Each structure stands twice: as C-alpha cells, then as structure tokens.
Amino acid sequence: MKRYLRFWLELLWLSWKRYPGQTSALIVCKLLSVVLVAITALALRDVVNAVIDHDPRTAVVAGLVAALAYCAMAHLEGLDTVIIFVLVERIGLLELQPQIDHDIAAIEGLDHLERAEFLDRVTVVRGAAWGLVFGMWVAVDSVFNMSRLAVLLVVLGAVNPWLLVLLLFAAAPLWFEQRAQRMVNAAETETAESFRLQRHLFNLATEAATSKEIRTAGAGPECARRQAEAWQDVAKVQLRARIRGARWQLAGWLLFTAAFGAGLAAVANGAVSGAGTVGDVVLAITVLINLRLAVQMTVHRTAETAGAGRLIDPYLWLRDYVAAESARRKGSQPAPDTLRDGIELDHVSFTYPGTTRPALDDVSVRLAAGSVVAVVGEYGSGKTTLVKLLMKFYQPDSGTILVDGIDLQDLDANGWRSHASVIFQDFGRFQTTFGETVGLGDLEHIDDVERIEQAVRWADAQDLVRRLPDGLDTQLGRSLGGVDLSEGQWQKAALARASMRRRPVLFALDEPTASLDPPSEHAIFKRYMTRARSLAEEAGAIVIVVSHRFSSVAGADQILVMDKGRISERGTHDELVAAGGRYAEMYGIHARAYAIA
C-alpha cells in the first residue's frame, strides 16, 4: 500500500506541476462537496423543527440554505467529473504513456522479451496510462468520500451517539469488496498467458505475413478453434472469480442494510418516546441515506482503487525491472572506434531463457582485428546466437567476451552498437519511406540523401530504387497505402540499411543474401569482401559472415564451423578442406550442387 501511496503522490505532484489551476480547482470542488452534505442535512432538520415550532422565518432561511447547498453540490459534481477527465487525458496520454513506452523500449538486451513474467506485465501495462492516472484520482476521491462519511457520522452522533456503531457496519462492504477485487486480480494474472495465446492465434490468422501459410495449410479453422479454446480458459477462470467475489460483496451489503434499518428504527423510537424531535428523525433519515450513498461511493471507489493495483503492480514492477536492468547492464567504458587487437570469446556459454539446451556451449575463439570471419554450420547450431551475443543483446551465462581486452559487459551498449552494423536473417520490414528504411541504419544521418544513396549502391539496390514510383521517397507497406516489396527487395533494403555506418568496427552479415538470386548474391559478396578489406584497414574492423553457402565464405581469413553450440572446426578454407572433416564434406556437397568445383 505504501508503494501505491508513493506512486499516487508522484502522479498528484506531476498533475500539480503541469496543471496547477485545474488540479487545485478539483481539490476545492471535492472539499466543498464534503461540507455541503452536512450543511444540507442540518438545514433540513432546522426546516422541520421550525415548521413544528411555527417559526416561518427560520423555516424559510433554513430552507433556502438547504436548497442552495443541494444545488451547489449537484453543480460541483458535474464540474468535478469534467476536470478529472481533462486531467486524466492530459497526464495519462501526454506524460505517462510516452514514459511507459520509453521504459519498455529502453531495456538494452533482448532476453526480457522472451521472459513470460516480463511479457505478462507488458500485456497489462501497454495502454494503461489512462487507467493509472484515473486510478490516482479515484484514490483521491476515496479520501474525500471517507471524509464525507466521517462528517456524516459526526452529525449522526449528535442525534444519538449509539448510531456511531454504524461505522463498524459501514466497514463491512468495504472490506468484503477488497476481498472480491483480490480474487478478480488473481484470476487476471492467472489467465494472462492464455490471453496472450488467443491474441497470438488471432494475429496468426489475420496478419498478412503469416496468413498465406495458414491459408495454404488450411489451418484457419484450427487457429479459430484454438483461439476459442484459449478464450474459454480465460473466461472460465475469470467468471468463476467474479461470481465468488459477487457473493462476498452481497454478504457485506446485507450486513450494512440490517444495521442501517436498526439505526433508523432506534431514532424513530426515540422521537415517539419524546427523547428526540421530529427534526432529528428527518436529520437521521437524510444523513443515513447520504451515509448509504457515501458508503456505496466509498466501496465503489475503494474497489476501483484496489483494482488500480492491477495496473499499478505491473507498472511499478516494470519500472523497477527497467531501473535494475539498466544499472546491472550499464557499461561505463566508451566503445573503441578502432580495433587494435580484436575480440576474444573465452569459454562463453549461453542458454536462452525458458530453454534448457545451451545455444552456445563453452565457445572460445579469437577474432583478430581486421579479419573476415565466416561462421558456417547446420541449422540451429548457434551461429546467430554468437552474433547476438557480440551485439550485447544477451549476456553470456558464463565466460567473457573481451573487446580489445575490455569486457563487453563494461562497454556502454549504445556506444558499442553505434560502432557496429548488422543485418539479421529476420530483418525488419519497416513501413516508412524507402529512404528512411535505409537511413535508420544510422539514425543521425537518416536525412542524408548522399549517404543513403551510397548505402543503396553497396547493396546493389539502385535498380530497385529506380523502379519505385517515388524513388527514395516511396512509402513502403500496403497498410499505409504504400508499395509492398518482394522478399529479396526487402533484403536489399536491409542490406543497404546495414551499410549506412561508414566506419563500423564490427560488421555482421547473418545470411545476408538468403532471399537473393545467385547472380545478385555473388555480386554482393564480392562487393562486401572489398568493403570488409577497406574497413579492416581503416578501423581494424572485424567482418563476420554467417552463411549456408560455403562457396561464398571460402575467401574468409578464418572459418568457424559450428555444431550444437560448439565450434567443431576452425581454420582457413584450405586448412579445413585439407583436414577432411565436416567442412570439407559440406563444401564438397555444395561444390557439386552449385557446380563450382
């Protein structure tokens, strides 16, 4: 609860700092409405007593006060709702939402994106900013509702101190409601995974990228069936929790209603026996009705406040996680802009979160500065994982990666990546203009047409740009009204993107030509080999080429053959062929297949 309070105070302070006029107007509205309830009830009692005492002057004045107080109350309620919604939208959507997006995007590595505990929270927190700020105002409202409750009880105590016992019963619906809310929250957390699954299945069947294969396989109905099944799981658990919660709520209200009736009977009995006035009965009825409303509002607000925990808990967890991860991973050393020695992997092992088999298993290798290193091997042997670790997307579970003698963990991640260029097998298909899609490879130069054109030439993509309706300014992506590219064209765009940085010290090409035809592939490999040599001279750059096509890596300075996460063979092409191992066998098969022998 302390954490919630601190968070709400933080939001309240933010609201006050950004919109002091509206925030203070809202607080004044709420304060006034507390006082006005008591004034209305007391004025009504005076009206009744004055009528019975034949005192028209007092009756008229008290009547006027009651009417004015009532009208002001009604007016303030409307005003209060309008101000709350304006503030929630402004603080939620303009201040908090960008902060949440930034927090989620700010985590350096990739492993969190594979952790269920992280994804569960992100599912809840995405788009939760509105609810988080609204929750804060609901909490403020709860405080004022409780104050109203206290004021009403003080007034009631003036009629008959025994009526204060009702306070105990007023707590029953509050307490039971919280219990019910906890049940609902637990059910939502329990079903978060099934919820994600059903959304994933829905996306599978409806997104252009996957729906082709789903349709070819005729798996649409199966996706729909599984989605419905996952939904059923979610609905069943949540419905059960809601029904159990509703039973607790009902029990709380029954207790309160019984006490409420007994209190009214006691006051009426007092008036009949002469212990009180008729005005007291009217006062008690008015206060009790308001009391019921105030309890109902407090229950409602408290439930909403407790419900806000559903958003606050994951949000605060995420915030703490981001802070802890940033502190844990933050390397303080600047990244070198020239490599002198190279990169050394020393007994590096790594297992992906949620899996048991190591993707890299005790890998030790030296990648000399200024060298071209080819990584070959079967599917799933750990080639891409090696590149991802070099990019500092993951931390090794054991072992170290030294860059010119400095532990990669100690290097500032953004600095290191800004000295690297990489094209991944599963490259991004960004729906921007073609120029921006390329320019993203070096954000500082996203508008530098000359540099973009040079990168396009590196990727041999001039023809592609020429054929686009607006050249570099062509919007990509059908869903944004742009043109769609073929697989090979997207790959060329990605290659161009990876060529934006002029002087990377690490240049990794992970299956850079898998979607291209053999002549394009050949031309591109030749060009990148030339580039690799000039980068090596300029910056001692290490160029890593991951490829299945053995013919294309024969010119590398060092070839690493990977097998089940380990380096099984290493050497130059000639050395490996002479050794007659797995590489020689695979090269022979490829040579025959591509007739390059």
Name the site residues for ligand ATP (rule: CB under 6 A). Answer: 114, 352, 355, 359, 377, 379-385, 425
Strands 398-403 and 342-350: antiparallel
Least distance (Å) from ligand ATP to the CB of residue 223? 22
Cβ 407 to ligand ATP shortest distance, Å:
22
Least distance from ligand ATP to the Cβ atom of residue 480, Å:
28
Q: How many angstroms separate the CA atoms of 381 and 583, rounded?
A: 14
- Quickly count: other Cβ atoms within 10 Å of residue 210's Cβ: 13
Residue 338 and residue 214 in contact, taking contact as beta carbons nearer than 8 Å:
no
Q: In whole angstroms, how close is the CB of 573 to ligand ATP at the nearest point?
A: 20
How many helices (H) does the chain have, and how many strands (E)? 20, 10
d(CA 527, CA 457): 10
**CA 130, 133, 136, 138 torsion-angle sign:** negative
Least Å from the CB of residue 586 to ligand ATP: 13
Report the relative pairing of strands 506-510 and 342-350 from DSSP bridges. Answer: unpaired
Mapped onto helix, strand or coil, the DSSP state of residue 369 is: coil
C-beta closer to ligand ATP: residue 70 or 352 = 352
Name the region of 580 (left: φ>0; alpha: ψ -120 to 50; beta: rest).
Answer: left
Which lies closer to ligand ATP via its Cβ, residue 314 or residue 565?
A: 565
What's at 564, amino acid-wise? K
CB-CB neighbours of 98 under 10 Å: 11
If the CB atoms of residues 492 and 549 are measured against ligand ATP, the closer one turns out to be 549
CB of 393 to ligand ATP, least distance (A): 10
For residues 58 and 425, which CB has a smaller minimum distance to ligand ATP in the complex? 425
Joined together, the tokens standing for residue 420 give: 């690297």
For the residues of 235-296, what is the DSSP string, one character each?
A: HHHHHHHHHHHHHHHHHHHHHHHHHHHHHHHHHHHHHHTTSS-HHHHHHHHHHHHHHHHHHH
Residue 367 per-residue DSSP state: E
Q: Which is nearer to ligand ATP, 114 or 412 (CB)?
A: 114
DSSP string, 534-573: HHHHHH--EEEEE-S-GGGGTT-SEEEEEETTEEEEEE-H
Least Cα distance to 299 among 248, 375, 352, 233 occurs for: 248
Provide, rounded to whole angstroms, the least separation between the CB of residue 201 and ligand ATP: 20
Question: At closest approach, how far in Å is the CB of 436 from ligand ATP?
Answer: 28
Cβ proximity to ligand ATP: between 173 and 358 the closer is 358
Q: Let me know the angle formed at the C-alpha of 193 by 192 and 199, rounded to the nearest 5 degrees.
A: 90
Nearer to ligand ATP, 465 or 546 (CB): 546
Q: How far is the CB of 430 from ligand ATP (least distance, A)?
A: 21
User: What's the closest the beta carbon of residue 426 comes to ligand ATP, in angstroms?
Assistant: 9
Q: How far is the CB of 490 from ligand ATP (least distance, A)?
A: 17
Do 583 and 570 touch, CB atoms closer than 8 A?
no
The nearer residue to ligand ATP, 332 or 356, going by C-beta atoms, is: 356
Per residue, the 3-state secondary structure of 214-252, as one string, reads HHHCCCHHHHHHHHHHHHHHHHHHHHHHHHHHHHHHHHH
Residue 173 or residue 396: which is nearer to ligand ATP going by CB?
A: 396
Give whichever of 441 and 565 is closer to ligand ATP, judged by the CB atom.
565
Q: Which is nearer to ligand ATP, 142 or 513 (CB)?
A: 513
